Structure 1
Amino acid sequence: MEKFILENYKIAKKMYETIGVDTDEVLERVKKIPVSMHCWQGDDVMGFEGAGELTGGIQTTGNYPGKARNGEELRCDMEKALSLIPGTHKVNIHASYAEFDGNKADRDQLTPAHFEKWVAWAKKNGIGLDFNETYFSHPKSESGLTLSSGDEEIRRFWIEHGKRCRKIGEYFGRELGQTCVTNLWIPDGYKDITVDKLGPRMRLKKSLDEVFAEKIDSAYNIDSVESKVFGIGSESYVVGSHEFYMGYAAQHDDVMLTLDAGHFHPTEVISGKISSIFTFKNKLLLHVSRPVRWDSDHVVIFDDELCAIMQELNRNDLFGKTYIALDFFDASINRIAAWVIGMRNTIKAMIFAMLEPVETLKKAEAEGDFTSRLALLEEYKSYPFSAVWDYYCQAMGVPVKESWLNEVRTYERDVLAKRI
C-alpha cells in the first residue's frame, strides 16, 4: 500500500503541475493550519458539573456505549482521536469541563486553577486550547434568559462568568504559547410570540460591554460572539441574532464574529457570508458543523458546503485570518470515530480547496469568460486530489483511508467497552 500511495502521489503531483499547482507547497500550508477539536463530542455535552440534563436548546440523541465519564477518560479518548488525524491541532473546551477535585465552584467563581489538568495535558501533547463560556444546563439559565435577563441578580451572575472565562482563556494562551479563542454563545430567547424584542437586546449589549471591558492581550486571548436563528425553547425569538452580533462585532474591533454552520435558516450557508464579514472585520471564527433541517450538529462530512467554506478561505487568502473549530455531537455512533471523521474531512476539504488554481479561475472571471470559469470548476473536481490526501496522511504518520477504523474498533474493545 505504501508504495502505491507514493506512486499515485507522484502522478497527481505532475497532473497538478500542469495547471500551476504545487502539491508539496499545498501540504506545507495545510500543516500550519490547526483545527480546534471540540471536547464535548466525547461525553455528549454533559461536562463535569454533574448536570442531569442538557438545557438551552441543546439536544444529543443516541446512547452508543462507552462515553467518557470524567476528565481522564475524555482526554484519553481525545488523544486516541488525535493520533488518527494528520497535523497538529487544538482542543476546544467548555467552561462546564472544569475539574474541582471535590471543591466545586459555581460558574461565577471559576478560576484558571480549575483547568490546570487541561493545560498540563495540552503541554504534554504540544497542542493549544480554545475556550467557550457555558450559559446553559445551569439553574440560573432555567428562565431562558442569561446575559439578557431582566433579573439583575441573574444577569450579574452571568456577567461575572463571562469575565472569568476570558481570564481563563488568557491563562491558556499564556501557558501554551498559542492564542486562545474564547467564544460567547447564549441560549436566550422565547418559545412563543414575543412582545418586547428590544429590551432584552439592550440588556445583552450592556452585559457584553461589561464582560469585554477589561483589555486582554490578543496574543493570549481573542473574544468572539456567536449567533443563532432559533433553538428548542426559543423558536420565536433569539436575543443574540446574527444581526445583533454582526452589529456588535462591527462596533468593537477587538471582538470577532462567529459563524456556526448550523445557526442559520436551513436554506442559508455560511460560505456565502464569509466575504461579507471580512469586508468589515479582519478575523473570523468558524464553527464547522452539519445541520440537517435544523441545528442538529451532525458529524461533518465531505459535502459541498464544507468544500465551499474552504474554497472561500483559500480563494481570498483568508486561512491566516480565520479560526476553524468543529461543533457537533452524535451519540448514535462511536464518539471517537465521530471526531476522526469530522476532523479528517475538514482537513481533506482544505486540501481540496488549496489544489484549485485560483488565479486561473479569477482571470477567466475578470475577463468575462464565464464559459471557461464553469467548465474549469467542473473539470478540476475530478483531478486526483485523493492521492494528495492519502500521501499527506502517510507522510504525517496516521492511517491511510479507512484503516483508521480498525484502531478505533480495537480501542472500543479494549477501553470503551469496559465503561459501565
Structure 2
Amino acid sequence: MTTKERYESAKELYASIGVNTDKAIETLKKIPISLHCWQGDDVTGFDHDGPLTGGIQATGNYPGKARNPQELMDDIDEVLKLVPGKHKLNLHASYAIFEPGEFVDRDKLEPKHFAKWVEFAKERGLGLDFNPTCFAHPKVKDNLTLSSPDEETRQFWIRHCQACIRISEYFADELGVPCAMNIWIPDGYKDIPADRLGPRARFKDSLDQILAIPYDKSKVYVCLESKVFGIGLESYTVGSSEFTINYAARKGIISLMDNGHYHPTEVVSDKISSMLLFNDKIALHVTRPVRWDSDHVVLFDDETREIAKEIVRNDAIDRVLLALDFFDASINRISAWVNGMRNLQKALLYALLTPNARLKELQNESNFTELMTMQEELKVYPFGDVWNYFCEANGVPEREDWFKEVKRYEDEVLSRRN
C-alpha cells in the first residue's frame, strides 16, 4: 500500500470514533515550534571562548559542532529540510554576529548585531524568538546576575535585558511575527543561604527596571522562566516557580515553564490546565529531564504526549508558545534537533487525533471503565499512517528515511569540520 492508501484507511477508522484526520493535519501544519539555535554548538555562542557557567553543562564531544555563524545557519537549514511545517527560530543574545574587528559587551548589544539572523529568517519565512544570555560571562559574579548585591553587576544585567527587549521588537517589526523574549537567570547558592528574601527582592527590582522601558507588548511577549536548581546552585534558586509565576501575574507578562525545571516527581502537563485558567498565554520549553534538568533530546514519550494533550484538549493551541530547549553533544546534533522537533509534532498530532470531547464525557459520567478502555485502545490506532502522510504532504521524508539525509550531511559536511 502507498502512504496515501494507508492514510485513507486510517482516516476511515478515525472517522468511526468522530475524529477528522484532515482537520487534524491541517491544524498541525499551522502550529509553530521555536527551534533553539544552541543545540547546534553546545550553547557556546559567538561572544566568548570560555566555558559554560551558571548551572549549565553540555556533555559529550561528538564531531561536527558548528564553529561559526555560517556553519550554524547551514545546520539549521539542514534541520528545516527534514521537519514538516513552518516554525520559528529561538536565539540567545550570545549569538550576536559582529563585523570583523567589532565587538560590544552584552549590555551594549543593538539590533544591527542580529541583522544577519533577520535576513536568514526572512529568506525562510521564519519568526524569531529571543533570550537574554545571563550566563557564561565574567559578570556572572558568584553565580549572581539580576539578583546580585553588587550594584554594578546588577545594572550591567539590567541593561543587557533592556537591550534584548529592543532587539526583540526589532525582530517583530522586521518579520511581522511577535517575538517571545524569555528571561531566565542562573542565580542561586550552592549551600543553605542566610537570606532568601534579599536576592529575590533585588531580582524583583531588576525586573521592574527592565520592564520600565517602553516597548510594544503586542510585538514583544516578555516571558519569565523558573528554575528548581542547577550545578553549583543546589540549595537555593532565586527565580523559583513561586517567584516567577507571581511576578508574571502581577506584571502581566508570560510565565514560561520548562519541564526540566521542577522536582523529578512534578510534571508540567499537570500544571498547564491551572495556568490556563488564570493566564491569557503561557510559554513552554519542552525538554527531557533524566533525574534532573539534564536537557536530553525530546522523545515521543508519556510526558511529551501529556503536554500536547493538555494544549489540544483545552483549545489552547493559540495560547501556548512552544519552544524546545535541549543540548546533547554526545550524538549527531542534526539528528538531535530533528528528533526533538518531529517528536513534539508527533505528540501534537497524537493529541489532535484523540476524541477528546467523548473522553471528557466518559469522565463526567464517571464511566471510568470505558474511559480506560478507550484510552488504551487509542494507543494502537494507526497514528503512524497519519503522521507519514503529513510528512509526505509537506515534502519531508517519512518514517526513518530522514536519517539517510542526516548521514549524508555528516559524511559530506560535518566530518570535514574536525
Q: For the superposition of Structure 1 and Structure 2, which TM-score range results when normalised by the shorter chain?
A: over 0.9
Shift of 1:215: 3.9
SS of structure 1 residue aligned to 2:294: coil
8 Å CA contact 1:256–1:285 kept in 2: the answer is yes
In structure 1, what is the Cα distance between the partners aligned to 2:48 and 2:200?
31
SS of structure 2 residue aligned to 1:353: helix
Q: What does the per-residue CA deviation read over 1:193-230, in whole Å, with 9 as the maximum and x for residues that have no partner?
A: 11100000001001001111124223321100000000
SS of structure 1 residue aligned to 2:180: strand
In structure 1, what is the Cα distance between the partners aligned to 2:365 and 2:251?
38
Give the corresponding residue for 2:155: 156
Which of 54, 61, 68 is the matching residue for 2:59?
61
SS of structure 2 residue aligned to 1:93: strand
Report whether the alignment pairs 1:142 with 2:137: no
In structure 1, what is the Cα distance between the partners aligned to 2:184 and 2:353?
34
In structure 1, what is the Cα distance between the partners aligned to 2:248 and 2:14?
40
Give the corresponding residue for 2:188: 189
TM-score under structure 2 length normalisation:
0.99
In structure 2, what is the Cα distance between the partners aligned to 1:357 and 1:215?
45
Shift of 1:4: 1.8
Give the corresponding residue for 2:131: 132
In structure 2, what is the Cα distance between the partners aligned to 1:168 and 1:156?
18
Give the corresponding residue for 1:222: 221
Give the corresponding residue for 1:329: 327
Q: Which runs of 5+ in 2 are unaligned?
A: none
Shift of 1:140: 0.4
Shift of 1:280: 1.2
Give identity over the alignment, percent.
57
Give the corresponding residue for 2:177: 178
SS of structure 1 residue aligned to 2:289: coil
1:233 maps to amino acid: G
8 Å CA contact 1:173–1:219 kept in 2: the answer is no
In structure 2, what is the Cα distance between the partners aligned to 1:384 and 1:223?
40
In structure 2, what is the Cα distance between the partners aligned to 1:252 and 1:33?
27
8 Å CA contact 1:178–1:219 kept in 2: the answer is no
In structure 2, what is the Cα distance between the partners aligned to 1:218 and 1:203?
24
Give the corresponding residue for 1:414: 412
In structure 2, what is the Cα distance between the partners aligned to 1:215 and 1:22?
45
Q: What does the per-residue CA deviation read over 1:375-419, in whole Å, with 9 as the maximum and x for residues that have no partner?
A: 111111111111000000000000011111110111111111111
2:412 maps to amino acid: D
SS of structure 2 residue aligned to 1:138: coil
1:337 maps to amino acid: S
In structure 2, what is the Cα distance between the partners aligned to 1:400 and 1:368?
40
SS of structure 2 residue aligned to 1:140: coil
Give the corresponding residue for 2:358: 360
Shift of 1:373: 1.5
Which of 12, 33, 36 is the matching residue for 1:35?
33
Alignment of 1:146-295 (within 5 A): 146-253=145-252, 255-295=253-293
In structure 1, what is the Cα distance between the partners aligned to 2:248 and 2:218?
19
SS of structure 1 residue aligned to 2:57: coil
In structure 1, what is the Cα distance between the partners aligned to 2:30 and 2:220?
19
SS of structure 2 residue aligned to 1:405: helix
8 Å CA contact 2:33–2:87 kept in 1: the answer is yes
8 Å CA contact 1:38–1:325 kept in 2: the answer is yes
SS of structure 2 residue aligned to 1:51: coil
In structure 2, what is the Cα distance between the partners aligned to 1:154 and 1:52?
19
8 Å CA contact 2:172–2:219 kept in 1: the answer is yes
Structure 1 stretches of at least 4 aligned residues deviating more than 3 Å after TM superposition: none
Shift of 1:249: 1.0
In structure 1, what is the Cα distance between the partners aligned to 2:335 and 2:164?
30
Alpha-carbon RMSD: 0.8
8 Å CA contact 1:171–1:220 kept in 2: the answer is no
Give the corresponding residue for 2:92: 94
8 Å CA contact 2:222–2:254 kept in 1: the answer is yes
In structure 2, what is the Cα distance between the partners aligned to 1:217 and 1:155?
25
SS of structure 1 residue aligned to 2:256: strand
Report whether the alignment pairs 1:71 with 2:69: yes
